[in-house]
Structure 1
Amino acid sequence: MQHDETAERLQQLYAESFGGKASGRYRIPEKLLKEMMGRKRLYPEDRIALTRALFERGFVLIDMDSFFVVMSANSFVNYRRVGKEALETKN
Structure 2
Amino acid sequence: MTCDNEWIFKTADRLCDFYAQEFGGKKSGRYRIPAKLLREIAGRRRLYEDDIREIGRAVAERGFVLIDMDSFYVIMSANTFVNYRRANEDFL
Please tell me the TM-score bracket, short chain as reference: over 0.9
The RMSD of aligned alpha carbons is 1.0
Letter in 1 for 2:71: S
Q: Give the number of equivalent residue pairs.
A: 87
The counterpart of 2:47, out of the listed 25, 42, 47, is: 42
> Which structure 1 residue ranges, 4+ long, deviate > 3 Å from structure 2?
none
* TM-score when normalising by structure 1: 0.92
Would you say 1:26 and 2:31 are equivalent positions?
A: yes
Letter in 1 for 2:16: Q
Percent identity over the alignment is: 61
Structure 1's unaligned 5+ residue stretches are none
Residue 86 of structure 1: CA displacement?
A: 1.1
C-alpha offsets along residues 5-60 of structure 1, whole Å, 9 cap, x if unaligned?
A: 01101111000000000000000000000011111111111001100000000000
Aligned residue number for residue 60 of structure 1: 65
Structure 2's unaligned 5+ residue stretches are 1-5
* TM-score when normalising by structure 2: 0.91
Would you say 1:10 and 2:26 are equivalent positions?
A: no
Q: Which has the larger radius of gyration?
A: 1
